[in-house]
Amino acid sequence: MAGDEEREEAYEARPDAPPTSRLGRLARLGALSTRAVPLATEAMRRAAFGKRRDADAEREAQERVLRNAKKTAEAMLKTLGEMKGLPLKLGQMASYIDGLAPPGYEEKFKEVLKKLQAKAPPLSREAAIRVVTKELGPPEEVFAEWDPDPFAAASIGQVHRAKTRTGDVVAVKVQYPDIDKAIANDLKSLSMLEAMIAPVGRKYHTKETLDEIKAVFLAELDYGLEAQNAEIFRRIHEGDDEIVIPKVWNAFSTKRVLTCEMIEGEDYATFCQRASQEERNAASATIWRFMFRALFKYGYLYADPHPGNYRFLGGGRVAFLDYGCVKVMPPDLLAGTKRYITAAMDQDWPTFERACVEVLGYDPSDPDAFKLFIDYTKLVLEPLTRDGIFRHTHEVAREAVAFLVRGGKRIMKPKDGEVLPHLPKPIDMPKDHTFMNRLQWGLASVMAGLGGEGNWRRIAEPWIRGPHEKI
C-alpha cells in the first residue's frame, strides 16, 4: 500500500506541460551552463592535447572532473528532461554519441544521461489524456484498454500502451501539450544566437545551417508526416524480413497522436550487454542496410539513429520505431555524395578531392584547413570504403570528434606576432548536408556499442554505385 501511495504522489508531482516561455527556457539552460562549461572545456583540452605532462596536475584534473561529471549529468537529466524539445534532443545526443563527453569520463557521464534515450521524465497522466481527448476522444472510449502511465518518453512526446477494440495491442505516442510553443521558442533562441555571432556567422553560413535545423525539427511536430515516412520506409525495405517497421493505425492517428503496432523485443542496452558476437554482427548488418539502402538508393536520410529507436527481435531482426526526423536528399547532392565516396573506394584521390571541392565546398586555397577536412572525410568514410573486415569500436567513433578538435586547434593557433586566432576560410557546404553529419557521428556511436564486425562496404556498394530510384 505504501508503495502505491508513493507512486500516486509521484504522478501528482509530474508537470502538466513543459515550460514554454522563451525567457524561462533560456534561464534554465543558463543555470545548467555553469556546470556544463567547465566539463566541455576539459573535453576540448583533453581531445586537443591529451593528458598533462605533470602527473600531479593530471591526477588532480581527473579527480575534479570525475566529481563534476556525474553531478553535471544528473543536473542535465533533470533540467533537459523537464524542458523537453530541442534541449532534450541535445541531451539524448550527449548520452550516446562518442566524443561529446570529456575523454576518460564518458561512462560516468553516460550512465546517468542514458535514461534520456528511451524514458525521459514523463508528464502527468492527465496531460496525455487531455491531448488524446482533443484529438480522438476520451482514450477509455477510443480504446478497449488504456494504460495511463507511459512506458517511454522522449523529446516531443510520450508513449502509452493500449488495446484496440479488435484486440490489437498498440503503442500510442502522444505529443506533449504546447511542445510546439516550446520548440518555437527554442528556435527563436537559435536565431538570436545566429544574430549575436554575425558577421562571423554569415561568413560561415550559420544562418543557412540553422534554417535547415529549424525546418527538420519543426517537421517532427507533425505525426501525420511521421506516419507517411514510416510507410515510405516500409516500401523501401519490402522483402527484407530482418527489417521490421511498425504498422501505423491511421484511424487512431492525427497530427499530435500516432498509434502503431506494439513492438516488444530487447532494447539497445540489454542487447549490447548479452548478445553474442554473431548476434551483434547480424544486427549491425541489418541496421547498416536500413540506413544505406534508404539513403543511397532512394535519397531518404534517417537522421535520428539514437539507441532508443531500436528493438532487437533475434536472428538479426531489428525493429525501427521512430520516423520523425527524416530528410529527403536532393538528387544532385545525392549524386555528388556518391561521387566522392566511389572515388574514395577506388582510391582515386584527385577525383575525390575535386568532388569534395565541388560538392562539399572545401576550399583548396586554404591548404591547412583543406587538408584537415579532406583527411577527416576519408576517416569517417572508412567503414564504407574499406574492402575488408571493419570493427566498430568506441575508440573509432571518438576519434571522429577528436580529430576535428585537434586539427581545428592547430589551425586556429595565432600566427607569429598575431594575437587573434587564425580563422580558416569558410566551406560552402550545402545546407541539405547538415543532418548527414548527425547520421555520421550518431550511427558510428550506435554501431560502436554493438561492436559489430563485417565488410560494410560490400553491403552498401551496390546502392552507392547504382542509380537513384524513386519510391
CA 39/CA 425 separation, integer angstroms: 29
CB 127 within 8 A of CB 146: no
In this prediction, residues 234-253 reach a mean pLDDT of: 97
Same domain, 277 and 213: no
In this prediction, residues 320-324 reach a mean pLDDT of: 92
CB 103 within 8 A of CB 47: yes
Same domain, 103 and 189: no
Same domain, 299 and 429: yes
CA 51/CA 45 separation, integer angstroms: 9
Same domain, 198 and 320: no
User: What burial class does residue 115 get, using C-beta atoms within 10 Å of its C-beta: 0-12 exposed, 13-18 middle, 19+ buried?
Assistant: middle
**pLDDT reported for residue 199:** 40
Q: Domain of residue 185: give its range.
A: 179-218
Same domain, 194 and 65: no
Same domain, 207 and 326: no
CA 7/CA 455 separation, integer angstroms: 49
Same domain, 296 and 424: yes
Give the side-chain half-sphere CA count within 13 A for 319: 17
User: For residue 152, is it within any domain?
Assistant: no
Rounded to the nearest integer, the mean pLDDT of the chain is: 79
Q: 466 vs 85, 274, 334, 342, 449, CA distance in Å?
A: 38, 37, 11, 11, 30
CB 341 within 8 A of CB 464: yes
**pLDDT reported for residue 19:** 56
Same domain, 31 and 103: yes
CA 53/CA 57 separation, integer angstroms: 8
With CA atoms as reference, report the closest residue to 255 among 279, 284, 220: 220
**Which cell goes with 346?**
577506388
In the predicted structure, residue 3 carries a pLDDT above the cut 50: no
Q: 406 vs 63, 419, 420, 428, CA distance in Å?
A: 24, 20, 18, 22
User: For residue 159, is it within any domain?
Assistant: no
pLDDT in tens, 450-465: 999 999 999 999 999 9
Question: Residue 325 — very low, low, confident or very high, per pLDDT cuts 50/70/90?
Answer: confident
User: For residue 263, is it within any domain?
Assistant: no
Phi, psi of 216 (to 5 degrees): -70, -45
Same domain, 63 and 184: no
Question: Residue 408 — very low, low, confident or very high, per pLDDT cuts 50/70/90?
Answer: confident
Structural domains of the chain, count? 3
* Residue where a domain stops, chosen among 68, 100, 118: 118
pLDDT in tens, 351-361: 999 999 999 99
**DSSP designation for 288:** H
DSSP 3-state assignment of 258? strand
In the predicted structure, residue 350 carries a pLDDT above the cut 80: yes
pLDDT in tens, 198-218: 443 344 345 656 666 677 777
User: For residue 255, is it within any domain?
Assistant: no
Same domain, 401 and 288: yes
In the predicted structure, residue 101 carries a pLDDT above the cut 70: no
Same domain, 274 and 339: yes
**pLDDT reported for residue 434:** 78
**pLDDT reported for residue 384:** 97
User: For residue 245, is it within any domain?
Assistant: no
In the predicted structure, residue 245 carries a pLDDT above the cut 50: yes
User: For residue 307, is it within any domain?
Assistant: yes
Three-state SS letters, 384-449: HHCCCCEECCHHHHHHHHHHHHHHHHHHHCCCCCCCCCCCCCCCCCCHHHHHHHHHHHHHHHHHHH
| 39-43, 109-113, 397-401, 403-407, range with the lowest pLDDT | 39-43
With CA atoms as reference, report the closest residue to 354 among 330, 384, 377: 377
Same domain, 288 and 386: yes
pLDDT in tens, 335-348: 999 999 999 999 99
Give the side-chain half-sphere CA count within 13 A for 345: 20
In this prediction, residues 413-422 reach a mean pLDDT of: 64
Q: Give residue 79's identity as a one-letter amino acid code.
A: T
User: For residue 310, is it within any domain?
Assistant: yes
Q: Give residue 443's identity as a one-letter amino acid code.
A: L
In the predicted structure, residue 149 carries a pLDDT above the cut 70: yes
**Which cell goes with 469?**
530510384
Query: How many residues can be counted in the chain?
Result: 471
User: For residue 246, is it within any domain?
Assistant: no
Instruction: For residue 259, count other CB atoms closer than 10 A to its CB.
Output: 29
CA 107/CA 309 separation, integer angstroms: 21
Question: Residue 47 — very low, low, confident or very high, per pLDDT cuts 50/70/90?
Answer: very low
